[in-house]
Structure 1
Amino acid sequence: MSAIPDPFSDRRRWQWLALAAAFGVLVWLLAPILTPFVLSALLAWLGDPLVRRIQNSGRSRTTGVLLVFTLMTSVIVLAVLLLIPLIENQIGKLIDWLPRFGAWLTGTAVPWAEQRFNLELAGYVDPSQLIELLKKHWQEAGGIAANIFGGVSKSGLAILGWIANLALIPVVTFYFLRDWPVMMARIRELLPRPVEPLVLKLAGESDQVLGGFLRGQISVMIALGVIYGTGLWLVGLDLGILIGLVAGLVSFVPYLGAAVGIGAAVIASLVQHGDWMHLLLVVAVFGVGQTLESFVLTPWLVGDRIGLHPVAVIFAIMAGGQLFGFLGVLLALPVAAVVMVVLRYAHARYTHSKLYGADDAVPATVAAAAAAVPVGAEPEDFPVVDDDLPPTDPMPPHP
């Protein structure tokens, strides 16, 4: 197998850097209109493997695209129709539940903490101001729709543009799904011949990293959200569904979802019920969820696929949103996957370079033998290193 050519071994590396900088500036300038196209490309990328499976079963590409597009559209519409009223109802319960929380905080939790730890906390805890602030903003949020439609004359073009972008997503997604292999082939043809093998190699690894996270970890997040929400609802918590959804959403950070969910569910249970039975049931729900995640969900849905580190995911999403807004949030994970793969490639090159000193490294057997010697050992304790050296003649006897 021939070695992959190195595209950065000549002076053209600066041309690549200039091209990358120009591309970044172009994305930044076109960010307001790129959002529907990027979202459509992500949806097409997610649906293409299923289209290829249908195509490999003997059906045409168009048939596979129609089936997958119908399935994706049905799932999205069903999720919107179910989740929006459910979340709105849960947030309404949360706002109505806040006065009860304030009464429990000042009447039960604070006196117990003062007596238990000999502290004076009553003067520092005043939940009434926070509750009134939240209720005020919630009442204002209830009139957002009226304000938007009432101000069509002032911002009609912006609203029409938003509706046009929303309607553009399914259309562009359909064409991306249908022509995905053709577009990938055209992009491959545009690659300079010396760098094509390397780019294809890095692109394949990036697809593996990003796919391992999106198709695996997000499936685990959705499953945990359903498990937590259903379990807490069966326990009898008014806010159980909302707490479960939030816990599932942040579960891509190990143990964070369970910690947030248990904390919120315990407080909600104490405020609503205040007995040990419901607390034990809450803990049991998260115990079952964590057990299923460790032994069923993660091995089945994620397995040994390479995923992005949770800290890298958080930083990428925050940085993308700060730099490019919603478009940056959409581009954050793909860019993070590519950067991760490129950094691995750069690390491999560095560890095999003269700068690292790979050619002058100590033989592995000598290094292993040296590492095995305890601190303060005597010379006779040093192990004998057999590095396949040629035998030497013994010294002649002293005359």
Structure 2
Amino acid sequence: MLLTDTQRQALLWLAVAAAAWWGVSLLAPVLLPFVLAAVMAYALRPVVDALARRRVPRWLGAGVAIALLMLLLLAVVLIIVPVVTQQWPLLREQIPPLLERLNAALVPLAQRHGLDIAIDVEGVRALLRRLISGHEGQLLDQVLASLRIGGSALLAVLGNLVLMPVVAYYLLLDWSAVVARVLALVPPRWRLAVDGLAAEVDAVLGQYLRGQLLVMGALAVFYTAGLALVGLKLALPIGVFTGLAVFVPYLGFGLGLVLALLAAVLQFQSLTGVLLVGAVYAAGQVIESFFLTPRLVGERIGLHPIAVIFALMAFGHLFGFVGVLIALPASAVLLVAVRRLQALYVSSPWYRLREAAPPRGED
């Protein structure tokens, strides 16, 4: 059986796609820092371009942009680490009295309804003694020993952390040249269509990034103000951290909630204070899920609020945590492709013939 030119071309493209998929799967650990560096460079490119328009040399603008990003990440780490290290040891002393007061209110109420319910405060106290033994120095020695055993893995992680900003810096310097070289690989007969698709994808992803930054800023203000209103002393660091961490859906919110509840338990030592902090986070989650993200992110990339929620669930189910991270930007790219396919379908002779065909019974 002889294959037509179209069939041979289709088989060739399938072979190329299979080889590319195999190569990416084989080199995934090596490619990861380069992919993250490319994402970093893409996100920082508007900043570098804006500095270049103000006659700042591109090498200097790229260095300033990456330095600012690194300082922002360092500031987030410096915000969260002191909160945890200062308050974690206090849990052993503060939680049992809180549970005893809860027992004092819960047990009479349960007995009134014929129930024998009580919290095992001594069991919780023993558990806290095992978890928070006070020998943090020994724990640090064990961690350092494990790091010495797995020194190669540690060096690999540190190497990637250094490699990513370096690669991002060189990508920012030569961004236009890199894009031009990639587009030069496209066959000339497809170049016009690919240029248009790339421009539309770039516009959609830019709108996504701007929308996500607005969501992060709004939530940082909301959580800081809400926690301050309920009287939490650490409202500023925890609120800012939660707002910035929502860039990672679910995980960022969960970490902020845990930190806030931990601070509330240690400061208020009452169920009322903990519930008030929980109410602030419940309100923030409702505002973020049903208003801010669908409106500021979903509408900017052309996704319906239901589609935003579906994308997060679908990508999370298919790809796990990484899928949750890439759900919205990947959906924006797919939306561009779907729009192009819809335009081709609507303009195709098959669609127009179906549209012009008379209904049955009118022949």
- Give the TM-score of the pair, scaled to structure 2: 0.69
Q: CA 1:275–1:134 in 2, change beyond 3 Å: closer, same or farther? A: closer
Deviation (angstroms), 1:121: 7.3
Match of 1:63 in 2: 60
Q: 1:29 to 1:285 in 2, by over 3 A?
A: closer
Aligned to 2:42: 45
Q: Structure 2 unaligned segments of length 5 or more: list them.
A: none
User: C-alpha separation between the residues in 1 aligned to 2:89 and 2:16?
Assistant: 51
Shift of 1:228: 1.0
- Aligned length in residues: 341
Structure 1 residues 11-90: aligned runs within 5 Å: 11=7, 12-89=9-86
String of CA shifts for 1:226-281, please: whole Å, max 9, x gaps: 53145314523478665885587559879x979x96xx87xx689734569x9779
CA contact (8 A) 2:204 2:332 kept: yes
Q: How does 1:113-132 map to 2 (within 5 A)?
A: 120=115, 122=117
User: What is the distance in 2 between the residues matched to 1:284 and 1:298?
Assistant: 18
Are residues 197 and 105 of structure 1, via their aligned partners in 2, closer, same or farther at CA, if it must alter by over 3 Å? Answer: farther
The letter for the 1-side match of 2:198 is A
40-49 or 233-242: bigger deviation: 233-242
Q: Which moved more, 1:308-317 or 1:171-180?
A: 308-317
**What percent of counterpart residues are identical?**
32
Could you say if the C-alpha distance between residues 196 and 32 of structure 1 is closer, same or farther in structure 2, counting changes exceeding 3 Å? same
Q: 1:227 — aligned with what?
A: 222
Query: 1:53 deviation in Å?
Result: 1.3
- Quick check: 2:110–2:117 contact (8 Å CA) kept in 1? no
Question: What is the CA–CA distance in structure 1 between the aligned matches of 2:108 and 2:302, rounded to whole Å?
Answer: 46
| Contact 1:40 1:172 survives alignment (8 Å) | yes
Q: What SS class does the counterpart of residue 236 from structure 1 fall into? A: coil
Q: 1:248 to 1:52 in 2, by over 3 A?
A: closer
Cα pair distance change 1:182/1:42, threshold 3 Å: same
Deviation at 1:51, TM superposition (A): 0.9
Q: Aligned-pair distance for 1:351?
A: 5.0
The 3-state SS of whatever aligns with 1:361 is: helix
Cα gap change, 1:351 to 1:86, in 2 (>3 Å): farther
Distance in 2, Cα, partners of 1:318 & 1:144: 36
How far the C-alpha of 1:178 sits from its partner, in A, is 1.0
SS in 1 for 2:300: coil
Cα distance between partner residues in 2 of 1:299 and 1:253: 13
Question: What is the alpha-carbon distance in structure 2 between the residues aligned to residue 302 and residue 31 of structure 1?
Answer: 29
Listed as ranges, the matches of 1:219-298 within 5 Å are 219-237=214-232, 242=238, 245-246=241-242, 249=245, 272-273=269-270
Give the drift of 1:89: 3.9
The structure in which a higher percent of residues are helix is 2
Q: Which of 322, 336, 339 is the matching residue for 1:341?
A: 336
1:265-317 CA deviation, whole Å, 9 max, x = no partner?
A: 7xx689734569x977986898799889999x779975952166143135435
Query: What CA deviation, in whole Å up to 9, does each residue of 1:11-62 have, x standing for no partner?
Result: 4344334333332222221122222212211111111011111212333322
Measured after TM superposition, the shift of residue 158 of structure 1 is 1.6
Q: Residues 41 and 172 of structure 2 are in contact (CA less than 8 Å); yes or no, is this contact kept in structure 1?
A: yes
Cα distance in 1 for partners of 2:42, 2:109 equals 55
Q: Is the 8 A contact 2:212 2:297 kept in 1?
A: yes
Structure 1: runs of 5+ lacking an equivalent: 1-8, 367-399
Which one of the candidate residues 205, 208, 218 is aligned to 1:213? 208
Distance in 2, Cα, partners of 1:134 & 1:18: 58
Contact 2:246 2:253 in 1 (8 A): yes
- 3-state SS of 1:45 partner: helix
1:359 alignment partner in structure 2 = 353
Q: Is the 8 A contact 2:313 2:324 kept in 1?
A: no
CA 1:280–1:171: 2 relative to 1, 3 Å: closer
Instruction: Give the root-mean-square deviation of aligned CA atoms.
Output: 4.9
Aligned mates of 2:45, 2:286 — CA distance in 1: 32
Per-residue CA deviation, residues 66-114 of structure 1 (Å, 9 max, x unaligned), is 3323322332333323333234445556676543564455443576578
The amino acid across from 2:171 in the alignment is F
1:157 aligns with 2:156: no
Q: CA 1:10 to 1:24, structure 2 compared with 1: closer, same or farther past 3 Å? A: same
User: Which one has a bigger Cα radius of gyration?
Assistant: 1
Counterpart secondary structure, 1:122: coil
1:189 aligns with 2:188: no
Whole-angstrom distance in 2 between the partners of 1:151 and 1:292 = 40
Task: Go from structure 1 to structure 2 and tell me whether the alpha carbon gap of 1:349 and 1:235 turns closer, same or farther (over 3 Å shift).
Answer: same
In 2, Cα distance between equivalents of 1:15 and 1:140 = 64
- Would the alpha carbon gap of residues 210 and 95 (structure 1) be closer, same or farther in structure 2, given more than 3 Å must change? farther
2:174 alignment partner in structure 1: 179
Structure 1 residue matching 2:150: 3-state secondary structure: helix
Aligned pair in 2 of structure 1 residues 283, 359: CA closer, same or farther (>3 Å)? same
Report the counterpart of residue 312 of structure 2 in structure 1.
313
Q: What is the distance in 1 between the residues matched to 2:191 and 2:41? A: 23
1:252 and 1:121, CA in 2 relative to 1: closer, same or farther beyond 3 A? farther
* Deviation at residue 179 of structure 1 after TM alignment: 1.3
